[in-house]
Chains A and B, each alone.
Chain A
């Protein structure tokens, strides 16, 4: 049977009352999970108990249940870190995550989302580590990889004069780096969930997530907030991936960053200097820009397929990494006054930039409406309600206010079958990252008073030329045939 996964807030208030900051920290640690949850909305699957299932183990032998896990954890323990973002002024933690040593000189890997507050606001936050033996110290940021949600940090030497003893550290599993682990391989994920102490979790490697633009390893095991950035190792105690997210509403459906990305970033960071705030912002900007260029080139390459809505044709991306859903109101009432069919496609993943800022999402949706007994004025009211562009939320210090342009767009010689459209284009710029924008386009067909197609496109973290090109492509595919 499936049981609902309690969100961390509820879970904790159940056991003991938590001060507010803990709730916040809790929320932060789950931010990435929340992001994913918004995209993956798979229904719970209740499977009947399998008749062929073997009967429970007889309770005879008093042997250790998992000697492997015990050995792995004992060996791995000194290489694990808890990574804490502290509010400098208050000296209190504002978020926690995990990390692990990967180099004798004190380089460690973690998730970008674990260090994002410090990376973007080093004046406000400081980045500390806490080792299982109780030693603490500062961390310096050496490299980030936004697309894969990775960061390389380095432990500050504890005393300046003495030569630092080489640190015990993990190595990468070459089979995992080559992406050749077989499905079903046993993996062990480690980290410090909810600040409860370092733990080890046994699970299964299930290959790469299908239909995801960004490669993610599907790990069947219990990852929890706070374990982000911790290692997932094979039985020989070598790195196979980095804990990154879990599926809300799922059971044991968790995700790892593939080892190959972590390995590549470490090699790049090994000889680098610590990053400055400006360096971080420039790196994010460059990576986002490169990412969106790659993403839109790939989208164009995958092409579009036509989708029909009454007399209208619109485009849907043929790219496999879009998750599409359809909905209709036809069964909702016996006295239906208007027929509404929705089809919506979005990319499964988003790139985490900050707790209140994510990027790299694309969404295309079409709403077809046909009046049954609404008059033209009532139908226009309904279209007005349905065509409102989705609001762009976010703090003003991260984004400029949105700017919109709206007008009627004529069919032209190249697209004579396109009806007159009422197009609303809204865009806003990222304050921290030049040349990146969020855009939202809404097009409403204007060829009939009792029938309409509302097509929407929204892109986040996109360059203006890509946004314009893609919008043009999107609008050019809208056609009507009567």
Chain B
């Protein structure tokens, strides 16, 4: 009975994240609209967009190889699998036993490789540009993300995300300089990985500086729907990753309905706050030139590295 319950919870958590991802995007758009004195679209708009796209015919370029058709499914599946390694509501997560934080980064890397290959596949100029820019961003973002994970792993002695959150929950509340640096680094990396301002502008289409949109230009119908949904899921994934690692309070440590409800309420509150913060940042900042992005991510890398050093110097030698 217990095993069934745990398995159900494990299956339901990524699906819950998948279902909630468009809502998070809609919430960010809404807050952004309010900050700019607009009323903003209803919160259900991304769901309607997805339904519309799923019902449409998928047009594929004549020059495209089979990879172009496979890519959306791989991207979507890899992102969903990555989400399965993440404790969304409860730290009792069988999926986390198989996939730790490094596997999560690897799965996201797989999704990204397929995305860039698909962008190159149709042979358009924008697709190639988007792909090369995505690779530029990734080259700098991925090491920083790994360093963040290593910094936290040195404190919690595990790379398993569920145990990381559990050990933070069980430990005393301590001011840790390394966590502060790691949080700052993760926020910068998250912004870059999810293609938000100031690295990429998610709300424009057909702009010369686009990164993510550039790779999706050739997609239509259900393929585009899957790609968009995967991107939304990735944003939700990074948001949940941030709150799991740094603010895990509220996560259910056992599977009672009450604890799960409390965890859900806490998660909604935390994601709403994080989304509002992102919207605020996107309103205040301007998109930076592409060639300044490596500098931005070098900053993230430096912060992560300082987190690691701060742990070694200030926290472990005591």
Q: Do A and B come from one complex?
A: no
Binding site for B on A (CB under 8 A): none
